[in-house]
């Protein structure tokens, strides 16, 4: 049974694309057939973060327009063969995404993959709405700061009204992914506390990804952090998030970087 | 249920008048046809969509080329609706359109010389002295494209002819899009995402690593896209 998952946020720069790549790679490593789809037409980045930018020939828009077959546009990851990418077009804009075209391509992807992960563009316009429309599961990426939380709240409202599930009177499965979490700063009161974010958004918490240079390093190397350094703190947090996504119940901790020779894991219980 | 007696079908007729042009050939016929050709050359669409009547009153069937005159006029795409001023004794008269009734003589029609619609000659080459940014597409279906600057990742140059980039080529270059296998791609620094000529392409992954960052040219040979350093 395939699932369509949208990674969304409203606000830009909170880590949607990074999280899409990390979650996709983690799911694929667990043996699932995964495709990550870049909906950010005109400002594509997922190909870079996935390290596939040198292999793009055809893209999502070519498939929608019938210029290429889906199989021609899909790029299979060289590191995990159960992970594929459908890149966006950089030379077009969101108007090139048609509701019928998106529906047709997503139907075809559902047949081939267990998980279809849609990387939403920022904003609440056409691109973001089409990315979420077919989803059954939503991961709302939020930073522990007021502007990000308010934008996430806006997106949750849209998820509950502008998706196919909502239109059918059903509820979309929503999860909060708190990213760029800095425990020290949160303790000093410079960031919103996890409880405060959960209190405002009142959706279940999928994971807390600690702020880490590892994330930046992985992005610049063109590798999802869950592939580039699977033992790093953010990678372990993404692996835990994926287990929760698959229904496992795991205690919520913020993994921190390992210290000392024995590599002891300092887990901090936060929620 | 009884059907009501159907009334006689009502035929709606309306009058409509068109001005027919009357062509009156004179002897010698060959010279007159040459004159008609010259006129058509000056104003090619003058007779288009207009009904034409051929008045042969000034000719006799014995005149050289007279027999083929009707065919000659038709062959020039002129829409003949009637031939007048000649009896059924003319050779080929059985193939003429039936004579028309009535008609009022009109004024002499001046044939205007058509001003050929001015199409500015498309420049064979497009020269852009600027860098091409991500997301931009430069499409020049005819001729070469020359970029004096860099072509960024995520941008696209498409040319009917060859592509010349005096700078780093980091985006896509698609040459010979109108089906020209002799088109080439030249750049000062190869960092391209994709090179294509006349449908043959190579992605960055398929380009020889030693050529990255070097001045190169790409061309089609032996059914493949070749890339070689320019120095």
pLDDT in tens, A192-236: 889 889 989 999 999 999 999 999 999 999 999 999 999 999 999
Which residues of chain A have a CB within 8 Å of the CB of B193?
Answer: 53-54, 56
Mean pLDDT computed over B25-54: 82
Given an 8 Å threshold on Cβ–Cβ distance, is B204 in contact with A54? yes
Percent of chain B at pLDDT > 70 equals: 90
pLDDT recorded at residue B16: 77
Indicate which of B133, B170, B193, B195 best probes the interface with A, i.e. most A CBs within 10 Å of its own CB.
Answer: B193
Given an 8 Å threshold on Cβ–Cβ distance, is B156 in contact with A44? no
Domains and CATH numbers, chain B: 21-95 (3.30.70.260), 126-229 (2.160.20.70)
Q: pLDDT: is B10 or B165 the higher one? A: B165
DSSP B151: B
Q: Provide the pairing of β-strand B137-140 with B156-159.
A: parallel
pLDDT value at B137 more than 90: yes
Q: pLDDT: is B161 or A263 the higher one? A: B161
pLDDT value at B94 more than 70: yes
Which residues of chain A have a CB within 8 Å of the CB of B136?
Answer: 91
| Cβ–Cβ pairs < 8 A, chains A and B | 29
What Cα–Cα distance (Å) separates residue B120 from each residue in B123, B142, B161? 9, 14, 19
Mean pLDDT computed over B58-67: 77
Which residues of chain B have a CB within 8 Å of the CB of A54?
Answer: 193, 203-205
Per residue in A74-88, pLDDT (tens digit) is 999 999 999 999 999
pLDDT recorded at residue B93: 77
pLDDT recorded at residue B2: 53
DSSP A120: P
Q: E-strand spans in chain B? A: 21-23, 51-55, 79-84, 125-128, 137-140, 144-147, 156-159, 163-169, 172-175, 185-190, 194-197, 200-203, 216-221, 224-229
User: Exposed/middle/buried for A188, CB within 10 Å: 0-12, 13-18, 19+?
Assistant: exposed
* Positions in chain A whose pLDDT score sits under 50: 260-267
pLDDT recorded at residue B121: 60
Among B134, B155, B203, whose Cβ lies nearest the Cβ of A55?
B203
Per residue in B198-230, pLDDT (tens digit) is 999 999 999 999 999 999 999 999 989 999 999
pLDDT recorded at residue B230: 93
CA distance A60 to chain B (A): 14
Contact residues of B toward A, CB < 8 A: 134-137, 153-156, 193-194, 201, 203-205
Given an 8 Å threshold on Cβ–Cβ distance, is B155 in contact with A90? yes
Given an 8 Å threshold on Cβ–Cβ distance, is B205 in contact with A56? no
- Work out the pLDDT band at B44, boundaries 50, 70, 90: confident
pLDDT recorded at residue A262: 43
pLDDT value at B81 more than 80: yes
Given an 8 Å threshold on Cβ–Cβ distance, is A91 in contact with B153? no
CA distance A222 to chain B (A): 14
Task: Report how many helices (DSSP H) and strands (DSSP E) chain A contains, helices first.
Answer: 13, 10
Mean pLDDT computed over B82-105: 76
pLDDT recorded at residue A230: 94
Find, among A182, A184, A130, A194, the residue nearest to A158 by Cα. Answer: A130
Given an 8 Å threshold on Cβ–Cβ distance, is B154 in contact with A44? yes
Given an 8 Å threshold on Cβ–Cβ distance, is B134 in contact with A56? no
Among B135, B203, B204, whose Cβ lies nearest the Cβ of A91?
B135
Q: pLDDT: is B81 or B152 the higher one? A: B152
Mean pLDDT computed over B38-45: 79
Among A42, A43, A54, whose Cβ lies nearest the Cβ of B193?
A54
Non-local (6+) Cβ contacts of B166 within 8 A are: B146, B147, B148, B149, B188
Which residues of chain B have a CB within 8 Å of the CB of A56?
Answer: 193-194, 203
pLDDT recorded at residue A131: 97
- Work out the pLDDT band at B5, boundaries 50, 70, 90: low
ipTM score here?
A: 0.74
pLDDT value at B191 more than 70: yes
pLDDT value at B4 more than 70: no
Dist CA B137 CA B198 (whole Å)? 18
pLDDT recorded at residue A76: 97
């Amino acid at each position: 049974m395939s699932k369509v998952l949208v990674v969304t946020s409203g606000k830009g720069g909170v880590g949607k694309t990074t999280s899409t790549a990390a979650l996709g790679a983690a799911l694929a490593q667990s043996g699932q057939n995964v495709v990550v789809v870049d909906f950010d037409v005109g400002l594509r980045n997922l190909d870079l973060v996935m390290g596939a930018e040198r292999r793009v020939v055809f893209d999502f828009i070519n498939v929608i327009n019938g210029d290429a077959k889906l199989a021609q546009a899909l790029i299979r990851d060289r590191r995990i063969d159960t992970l594929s990418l459908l890149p966006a077009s950089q030379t077009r804009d969101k108007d090139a995404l048609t509701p019928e075209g998106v529906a047709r391509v997503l139907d075809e992807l559902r047949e081939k993959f267990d998980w279809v992960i849609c990387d939403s563009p920022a904003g609440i316009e056409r691109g973001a709405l089409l990315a979420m429309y077919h989803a059954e599961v939503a991961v709302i990426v939020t930073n522990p700061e007021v502007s990000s939380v308010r934008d996430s709240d806006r997106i949750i409202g849209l998820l509950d009204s502008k998706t196919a599930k909502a239109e059918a009177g059903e509820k979309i499965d929503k999860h909060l992914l708190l990213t760029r979490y800095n425990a020290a700063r949160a303790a000093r009161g410079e960031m919103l506390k996890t409880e405060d974010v959960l209190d405002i958004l009142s959706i279940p918490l999928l994971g807390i990804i600690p702020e880490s240079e590892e994330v930046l390093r992985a992005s610049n190397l063109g590798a999802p952090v869950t592939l580039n350094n699977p033992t790093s703190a953010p990678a372990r947090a993404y692996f835990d998030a994926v287990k929760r996504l698959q229904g496992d119940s795991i205690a919520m901790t913020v993994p921190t970087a390992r210290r000392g020779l024995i590599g002891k894991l300092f887990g901090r219980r936060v929620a | 249920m009884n059907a009501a007696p159907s009334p006689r079908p009502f035929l709606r007729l309306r009058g409509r008048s068109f001005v027919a042009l009357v062509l009156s050939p004179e002897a010698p016929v060959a010279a007159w046809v040459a004159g008609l050709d010259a006129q058509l050359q000056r104003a090619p669409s003058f007779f288009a969509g207009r009904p034409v009547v051929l008045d042969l009153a000034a000719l006799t069937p014995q005149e050289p080329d007279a027999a083929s005159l009707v065919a000659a006029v038709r062959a020039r795409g002129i829409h003949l609706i009637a031939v007048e001023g000649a009896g059924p004794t003319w050779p080929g008269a059985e193939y003429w359109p039936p004579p028309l009734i009535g008609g009022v003589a009109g004024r002499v029609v001046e044939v205007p010389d058509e001003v050929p619609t001015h199409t500015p000659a498309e420049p064979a080459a497009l020269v852009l002295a600027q860098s091409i940014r991500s997301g931009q597409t430069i499409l020049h279906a005819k001729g070469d494209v020359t970029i004096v600057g860099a072509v960024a990742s995520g941008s696209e140059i498409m040319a009917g002819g060859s592509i010349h980039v005096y700078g780093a080529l980091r985006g896509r270059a698609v040459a010979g899009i109108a089906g020209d296998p002799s088109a080439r791609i030249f750049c000062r620094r190869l960092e391209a995402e994709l090179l294509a000529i006349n449908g043959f392409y190579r992605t960055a992954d398929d380009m020889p690593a030693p050529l990255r960052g070097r001045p190169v040219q790409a061309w089609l040979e032996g059914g493949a896209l070749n890339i070689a350093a320019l120095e």
